[in-house]
Amino acid sequence: MIRRDRRRDGGALPEPRPHHYRFAHRLLPSLTHLDAVPPAQLDTELQRLWEEYASHFPAEQRLPVDGLHGSLVRAGQYGLVLVVLPAPRAAGEAFALVMAHRADGSAPRCFTLDYAVDPLTGEPGAVLGEWADGAHLLRRSGLTADPRPFLRAVTALLKAAESPEPPAETRWRVPWSRG
C-alpha cells in the first residue's frame, strides 16, 4: 500500500475507517459463499453483511451502506465476485474487491482496489493488492477508481498464474540482461 503521513497541502492524511477497512480487508476475504449467492440476491446479501458487521463497532464508527453492490462475472475457469464498496476516504480503504473462485473448488484468491496516495506527488490514485497467506501484496499501481480496468488487471493476473511463463510485460528486466 502506498501511503504518506501528509497531504500535499501539509495536512495529515486520515486513517482508514475501521468499519470500511475491516469489511473489505478482513471479512470479505474470509467468506467463501458469495459465489453461490444468486446474482439477483447478491446486493441484498452484501448489504446484510455490511449492516451485521457494523454491530462490531461503536455507533460513531458505523458507516452507511451507500454505494455497496456486487456482480458475478465469468473469466475463463474463474467465477469472479466483484464488490464495489462505499466510496473510500483514506489510503488503504478499498474502492472494490474481487474474489476469484476456481471451478475446482480450490481456495479463492482475493484482490483489492485500494485508495492510495502517491508518496512523491501526493496525488490520489489506486493500487491493486492481493491477500495471500495472510499478507496484503501490492500487485500493481497506477490504477484509478474505475472497477473495469481493475477487473481486467485481475483477469490478467489470473491468466498469468495459469501460464508456465509470465507474459513479457510482467517479467522483470534488468539493464544488463539480454532478455
Give mean pLDDT in consecutive 10-residue pieces for the chain, a chain of 179 residues: 45 86 95 92 97 97 96 92 96 96 89 91 91 89 92 93 62 45
For 3, the grid coordinates are 501511503
Within a domain: residue 6?
no
pLDDT of residue 80: 95
pTM for the whole structure? 0.83
Within a domain: residue 163?
yes
Within a domain: residue 140?
yes
Identify which of 110, 50, 43, 106 has the alpha carbon closest to the alpha carbon of residue 72: 43
pLDDT of residue 172: 47
Within a domain: residue 117?
yes
Within a domain: residue 33?
yes
How far is the C-alpha of 49 from the C-alpha of 106, rounded, in Å? 24
78: containing domain: 18-170
Within a domain: residue 179?
no
User: CA angle, 88 as apex, 78 and 33 as ends, to 5°?
Assistant: 30
Within a domain: residue 118?
yes
Number of compact structural domains in the chain: 1
For 45, the grid coordinates are 446479501
Handedness of CA 3, 139, 123, 151 (dihedral sign): negative
Within a domain: residue 64?
yes
DSSP code of residue 26: I
pLDDT of residue 4: 40
Q: How many Cα atoms occupy the beta-carbon half-sphere of 137 within 13 Å?
A: 10
pLDDT of residue 156: 93
